[in-house]
């Protein structure tokens, strides 16, 4: 399988996040995640690494209204600085037409766990270009299954705001690129609901979105990901959520997978994008399901049997001792 990579991942390595009160927590989304995955995949000759190509920034900017804000704010940062918004204006706020100052970050960012550093824009853009390169390979029939090693993740970044460690939505950017060539299904397998991806396409009937995740009544992102969210307007019925309790094991997880697979078969998309998070592992520091390392082959096989051109975009997975093997097992399920 082709593995697409790009960027010096260590360029984006923020230290703090501010969550659940004034205490600062160390961020788990470190460059070591990607290095752990690379190490395992490079040791297996069935994986071939290629470098993502550069795309015009319009492919990212056209669906992310905060693109210029992230770019300009990153350019204004000094080396070692981390910027967090501290004011999140609500309804009725008087907002200026042009927002150039980092101090206005609360308009575009949902939280204080997604800082901007000097290299954030470069790395986030490269992450999106990794997904775009994979989408291009599918569109041009050069590959049928491709893995995009994206970091930062993207599924919490939406059409209004970014957050949750995510700056640009990699899966959504790839889907927009593919839509002129056919309909798309996006399945999110991260422990946390892909709220940004859902919001991008909740009124777009040419994209089917689905997510298996922890019950949002007890887990981030809290306000999205419930079973009654089915899509809106002409797209009602093209969104499907499978919120599951903590400690869910493979047997119950596969039932949710099966329900989504059947919906994808009925939808008959031209392309499948899997936003693959591995924080569903039993030992993940910010996860909470009881999935084991070897379980990911069986999960991957269920989607592989759909036999749809598939782009797999890396999302979460924060245990560097296990994430590489989890990714490998999932990807091997797509090998013919």
Catalytic residues: 156
Residues 211 and 315: their CA atoms lie apart, in Å, by 13
Our CA angle for 43, 6, 61, nearest 5°, is 150
Note whether 173 and 63 are within 8 A (CB). Answer: yes
How many helices, marked H, and strands, marked E, lie in the chain?
Answer: 9, 10
Residues 46 and 41: their CA atoms lie apart, in Å, by 8
**Ramachandran quadrant class, 233 (left: phi over 0; alpha: psi -120 to 50; beta: rest):** left
Question: φ, ψ for residue 61 (rounded to 5)?
Answer: -65, -30
Q: Of 245, 249, 236, 238, which Cα lies nearest the Cα of 281? A: 249
Antiparallel, parallel or unpaired: β 207-214 and 184-188: parallel
Residues 205 and 230: their CA atoms lie apart, in Å, by 11
| CA distances, 86 to each of 28, 102, 111, 231, 264 (Å) | 21, 10, 9, 32, 41
What's the burial of 167, exposed, middle or buried (CB within 10 Å: 0-12/13-18/19+)? buried
């Amino acid at each position: 399988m082709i593995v697409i990579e790009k960027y010096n991942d260590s360029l984006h390595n923020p230290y703090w996040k501010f969550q659940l009160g004034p205490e600062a927590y160390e961020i788990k989304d470190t460059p070591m995640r990607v290095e752990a995955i690379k190490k395992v995949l490079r040791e297996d000759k069935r994986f071939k690494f290629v470098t993502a190509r550069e795309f015009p920034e319009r492919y990212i900017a056209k669906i992310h209204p905060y693109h210029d804000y992230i770019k300009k704010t990153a350019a204004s940062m000094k080396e070692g600085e981390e910027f967090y918004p501290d004011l999140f204006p609500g309804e009725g706020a008087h907002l200026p037409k042009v927002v150039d100052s980092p101090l206005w970050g609360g308009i575009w960012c949902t939280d204080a766990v997604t800082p901007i550093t000097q290299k954030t824009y470069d790395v986030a853009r490269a992450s999106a270009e990794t997904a775009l390169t994979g989408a291009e390979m599918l569109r041009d029939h050069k590959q049928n299954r491709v893995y995009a090693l994206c970091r930062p993740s993207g599924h919490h970044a939406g059409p209004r705001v970014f957050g949750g460690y995510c700056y640009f939505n990699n899966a959504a950017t790839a889907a927009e690129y593919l839509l002129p060539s056919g309909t798309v299904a996006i399945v999110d397998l991260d422990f946390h609901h892909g709220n940004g991806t859902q919001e991008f396409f909740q009124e777009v009937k040419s994209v089917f979105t689905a997510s298996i995740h922890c019950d949002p009544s007890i887990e981030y992102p809290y306000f999205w990901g419930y079973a009654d969210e089915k899509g809106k307007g002409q797209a009602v019925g093209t969104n499907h959520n499978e919120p599951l309790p903590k400690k869910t094991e493979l047997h119950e997880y596969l039932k949710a997978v099966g329900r989504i697979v059947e919906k994808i078969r009925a939808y008959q998309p031209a392309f499948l994008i899997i936003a693959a998070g591995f924080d569903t592992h039993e030992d993940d520091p910010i996860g909470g399901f009881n999935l084991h390392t070897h379980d990911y082959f069986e999960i991957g096989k269920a989607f592989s049997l759909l036999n749809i051109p598939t782009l797999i975009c890396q999302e979460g997975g924060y245990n560097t001792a296990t994430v590489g093997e989890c990714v490998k097992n999932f990807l091997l399920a797509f090998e013919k």
